[in-house]
Structure 1
């Protein structure tokens, strides 16, 4: 519906949903591998590892695109209309997917991980220097740069909204909430994981003590990245009024069914007493 209406953000949201879905589909394999004695085919191992890491960073890129889209629409409303067209958003989304996949394949091939695909699913402890270098590149390109872009867009948009007298207060609140949740989702989902990965890359190579100390935080923070797939629908709900209406309908219907059951149980209790 939003795409047919020429809403460029709908394109980014569809791609974000695809990225989240691919990540969710890879989870059963990781759950299976959580037990030390379990193994999987090397080809499947390579596939799910590439899917997982690309889901992290494709999601980051698409959230950046949404932030930049809103930045251009609010700070420069009379310019850059072509950037906010559906066609442009589709091209940008394809570019994000292509760039992320290409960078990861190049990095994995450079470190030899593609040649030894088992290392993608079974990490060597302590981390090797090659793996540490790969982690540092991921943190810099896939985390620090997106955080800078989203923070800059958020600050500029909030400043522009405060100075604008033509935008209604309700619309200001909606845009502010959208940007706040985009930044919050990213921070909650990825900051713990990326922080632990940065510490591992700096401290762990050649050190069994740090490898042991950071093992549990690493496992926990990898699990917290799944929050991204859970929280991303909030972005969609903040953008789409039709989604908000559907949610209200579902909540209203669910509340009605709940109250009907409570009422029927109460009535049955009264009858049994009498």
Structure 2
């Protein structure tokens, strides 16, 4: 089984008090930057209650999913610093939260893309508009699905005291075919296909619209927004699921480089918590305007800036 390969790679590459500098640096950057970005995103979303659309509801839940994932990173950083003090059960529970929030993010990104597509391509359909109003229920269903599907896998796992490698050992969902293939198909394959289809329909609808042809709307800018959202999704999750498939195919004898690629692809997937807020800013006009207003208000409150503004306001009078 893959656990043996994981144990061999662990024993070759680690000492009892090992320090993995790459995971420490990557997870620390994600922790700091991702926390700031997502907290700002939530503050902006909640402060703009009047302009809260159905898409914003998905974005709020996406920011919450990102923050929940980020909350698992401090213990990962502690472990990779060389403090092997975490129980295997706690490591598995942290892996459960991380996995559930990765797939919550995937489904929420898919919902954002589909919601935009329906709003643009079928704006006059009463059924579509009624369906879009069910965004809170859809978000609740996503949370129940992702956590509900993950918990039985971890609670059924038998932990052996002599196999305590915490985050260096492969999770059960990366080695069991009955778990891997449904995860790849339902958790990544279907959302990716739907996002590609919706993105194509969005670009097609924008380019064919009479408003875009009359130069009242910058269709190239909208196309770039759509491409940005799709690119964030593919960069974040395609490497991870590709290596997950390769690991499952070589589960009887996994090469150590493949295990290393799996762990690095997991770091890339966690980087989605930083990329999501960037996508909010560049693809949502309301979010960008509110950020500009809030940042401007904070800037004006700074003592040095307030003194310079007072001088500018007094300058015409003095002259």
Q: Report the TM range for the smaller structure's normalisation.
A: 0.7 to 0.9
User: Which residue of 109, 130, 134 corresponds with 1:82?
Assistant: 130
Match of 1:149 in 2: 194
User: Which residue of 141, 165, 170 corresponds with 2:217?
Assistant: 170
Structure ranking higher on relative contact order (CA contacts 8 Å, 6+ apart)? 2
- Give, in whole Å, the separation in 1 of the partners of 2:174 and 2:69: 27
Cα shift at 1:175? 3.7
TM-score normalised to the size of structure 1?
A: 0.78
Cα shift at 1:30? 1.5
CA 42–199 in structure 1, closer or farther in 2 if over 3 Å, else same: closer
Q: What residue ranges of structure 2 are gaps of 5+ in the alignment?
A: 1-46, 306-319
Match of 2:26 in 1: none
Q: Do the aligned residues in 2 keep the contact of 1:133 with 1:201 (CA within 8 Å)?
A: no
SS of the equivalent of 1:170 reads coil
CA 60–120 in structure 1, closer or farther in 2 if over 3 Å, else same: farther
User: Which residue of 160, 164, 187 corresponds with 2:234?
Assistant: 187
The yes-or-no answer on 1:116 pairing with 2:180 is: no
Q: Do the aligned residues in 1 keep the contact of 2:237 with 2:269 (CA within 8 Å)?
A: yes
CA-atom RMSD, angstroms? 3.1
Q: Do the aligned residues in 2 keep the contact of 1:139 with 1:194 (CA within 8 Å)?
A: yes
- Give, in whole Å, the separation in 1 of the partners of 2:208 and 2:241: 35
| CA deviation map 1:237-274 (0-9, x unaligned) | 121435345348849998xx9xx9xxxxxxxxxxxxxx
TM-score normalised to the size of structure 2?
A: 0.68
Match of 1:267 in 2: none
Match of 1:216 in 2: 260
Cα shift at 1:122? 4.6
Cα shift at 1:14? 0.7
| CA deviation map 1:76-104 (0-9, x unaligned) | 1111111223xx11111111111111111
Runs of 4+ in 1 over 6 A off after TM superposition: 117-120, 125-129, 251-254
Aligned length: 248
- Give, in whole Å, the separation in 2 of the partners of 1:161 and 1:214: 42
User: Which residue of 101, 106, 120 corresponds with 1:55?
Assistant: 101
